[in-house]
């Protein structure tokens, strides 16, 4: 399934993956998550509000910092 197909899916919810990473890394909030992912805070906000899909680059970065597998991250997005 492509990212475009995933984000168009009614079950796509990027908040689950963001919240799972925040919980796993024991981060305080989205600002701390943006620092951990090395992205600007508006990127996290746009992902949360479903105006920006989670692309390959940020997905890989999420994997690197969280030790969730890519498969686990994709399943969290589509659950």
In the structure, how many helices (H) and strands (E) does the chain have? Answer: 6, 0
Identify the pLDDT of residue 70: 94
| Mean pLDDT of successive 10-residue stretches along the chain, which has 79 residues | 54 92 97 97 95 93 96 88
Based on its alpha-carbon atoms, the radius of gyration of the chain, rounded to whole angstroms, reads 11
Instruction: Using alpha carbons only, give the angle 12, 18, 21 rounded to the nearest 5 degrees.
Output: 130
Cα separation, 5 vs 29, whole angstroms = 29
Identify the pLDDT of residue 66: 96
Identify the pLDDT of residue 78: 83
Q: What global pTM score does this model have?
A: 0.84
Identify the pLDDT of residue 11: 79
Identify the pLDDT of residue 57: 94
Cβ atoms of 18 and 47 within 8 Å: the answer is: yes
């Amino acid at each position: 399934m492509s990212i475009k197909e995933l984000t168009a899916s009614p079950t796509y919810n990027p908040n689950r993956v963001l919240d799972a990473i925040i919980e796993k890394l024991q981060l305080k909030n989205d600002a701390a998550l943006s620092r951990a992912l090395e992205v600007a805070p508006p990127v996290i906000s746009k992902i949360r509000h479903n105006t920006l899909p989670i692309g390959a680059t940020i997905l890989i970065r999420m994997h690197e910092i969280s030790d969730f597998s890519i498969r686990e991250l994709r399943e969290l997005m589509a659950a």
